[in-house]
Amino acid sequence: MNVEPLLIEATSKTPKIVFDPINNFYEISGRSLPENVVRTYEPIIKWIDANINYLPTPIEVNFRMDYLNSASAKMVSLILTKFEEFHKTNKEISINWYYFIDDDDIQSEGEIYAMLKKVPIKLIGIKDED
């Protein structure tokens, strides 16, 4: 089955989404404080539900969040639960959670997910380029 990529450009309040099975590249990046969190994340969840079992493995998903409000954090948790379910079927999937080393909030969010989710989550601190 050919799986179409999911590509959604970022706005000032929503993250960039690149789920590209052709190049085996999966990333959610940017700021997430949408007025309607369901409208923002529903396409991602539907895409995962429809396609995850057809993706080539191993799968590596990058999260590079600059900001995540509490409603968005719940949706990210739901996405990670989908990946956790996939991982439980003995499929190879790993998560990279990037955070700026001076951003305690995003780091702590990643640490919480790493503790709660039964899917490999690697926390990667990076320096701010400014």
Can you tell me the mean pLDDT for 44-61? 95
Rounded distance between C-alpha atoms, residue 34 and residue 43, angstroms? 14
Residue 1 lies in a domain: no
63 pLDDT more than 90: yes
Average pLDDT over residues 49-70: 95
Residue 27, CA distances (Å) to 6, 17, 108, 109, 130 in order: 10, 6, 19, 17, 22
Please tell me the predicted confidence (pLDDT) of residue 1: 66
Domain count, the chain: 1
Q: Which domain holds residue 98?
A: 6-126
This prediction has a pTM of 0.94
Phi, psi dihedral angles at 4 (to 5 degrees)? -75, 140
pLDDT level of residue 45 (50, 70, 90 thresholds)? very high
CATH of the domain at 114: 3.30.750
pLDDT digits (tens, 9 = 90+) for 81-121: 999 999 999 899 999 999 999 999 999 999 999 999 999 99
pLDDT over 90, % of the chain = 92
Work out the percent of the chain whose per-residue pLDDT is above 70.
Answer: 98
The pLDDT value given to residue 87: 94
Question: Within a domain: residue 41?
Answer: yes
5-16 mean pLDDT: 98
HSE-CB for 26 with a 13 A CA cutoff: 23
Q: Is residue 61 part of a domain?
A: yes
pLDDT confidence of residue 11: 97
